[in-house]
A and B are shown apart, each in its own frame.
Chain A
Amino acid sequence: ETGVTQTPRHLVMGMTNKKSLKCEQHLGHNAMYWYKQSAKKPLELMFVYNFKEQTENNSVPSRFSPECPNSSHLFLHLHTLQPEDSALYLCASSRGGEGQETQYFGPGTRLLVL
């Protein structure tokens, strides 16, 4: 596989469920990102990891919990979500840490919270 992959592509969960989104990048990058895209809104940055260290948490509620075990993998653990959390969740990666970087995106996970 090449590029950035995300699983699952679609997810339906109840408000009491716990689920995890997975992202893997095959580009040799050192920075990984989680974004949320809701209808009619710009992409919202949620978390940034640089060399496995979290460098940004954009005031995201604690019901979203990221994990970055290594530079190639990124998870987003979900628990007790709300219906307004339904959105497209995108993962991206880039070289890492120097600015003027291009981020490459995965296909996203379409999440529906019932």
Chain B
Amino acid sequence: DQQVKQNSPSLSVQEGRISILNCDYTNSMFDYFLWYKKYPAEGPTFLISISSIKDKNEDGRFTVFLNKSAKHLSLHIVPSQPGDSAVYFCAASAVGNEKLTFGTGTRLTIIP
């Protein structure tokens, strides 16, 4: 049973525009959510996280939004740059637990 789902396997966005990546989860015990970026042949790189007590967290061009009632989070990248082309994974952990559950990833391609 996939507890963290990224339903879009790929997304293409024009350079300079906003990229929006989505993630849904089913486990109501999840209280911490993270986004990772992964280039080919490299490990995932941590981007941004959000605790369930917040509904928004911003870091430079990256903003994560959390809608607990809908069990949905999204990552906004604005403006999108060519270097943002990568696979993006969302992940979640449950209360008091360090284990992360990952989604299957969304491949983002930024078109120059």
Contacts and interface: CB of A to CB of B under 8 A. Distances in A.
Interface residue tally of chain A, by bracket?
Answer: 20 to 34
B105 A42 contact: yes
Interface stretch (B14-22, B77-85, B91-99): B91-99
A108 interface: yes
B100 A45 contact: yes
A81 interface: no
A42 B49 contact: no
A18 B106 CA distance: 35
A102 B42 contact: no
Contacts, number: 66
Contact of A98 (B41, B94, B98, B100): B98
Nearest to A104: B46
A99 B49 contact: no
Contact of B32 (A31, A99, A107): A99
B43 A108 contact: yes
Nearest to A103: B100
Interface residues of B, number: 28
Contact of A96 (B49, B98, B105): B98
Interface string B48-59: 010100000000
A29 B45 CA distance: 17
Given A4-B43, A105-B44, A100 B51 contact: yes
Given A43-B44, A94-B98, A100-B93, 13 more contacts: A42-B105, A45-B99, A56-B99, A90-B43, A96-B98, A99-B32, A100-B32, A101-B93, A102-B46, A102-B49, A105-B36, A105-B45, A107-B42
30 contacts: A31-B98, A40-B104, A42-B101, A42-B102, A42-B103, A43-B100, A45-B100, A56-B99, A90-B43, A98-B96, A98-B98, A99-B32, A99-B95, A99-B96, A99-B97, A100-B31, A100-B32, A100-B51, A102-B34, A102-B46, A103-B98, A103-B100, A105-B36, A105-B43, A105-B44, A105-B45, A106-B43, A107-B43, A108-B41, A108-B43
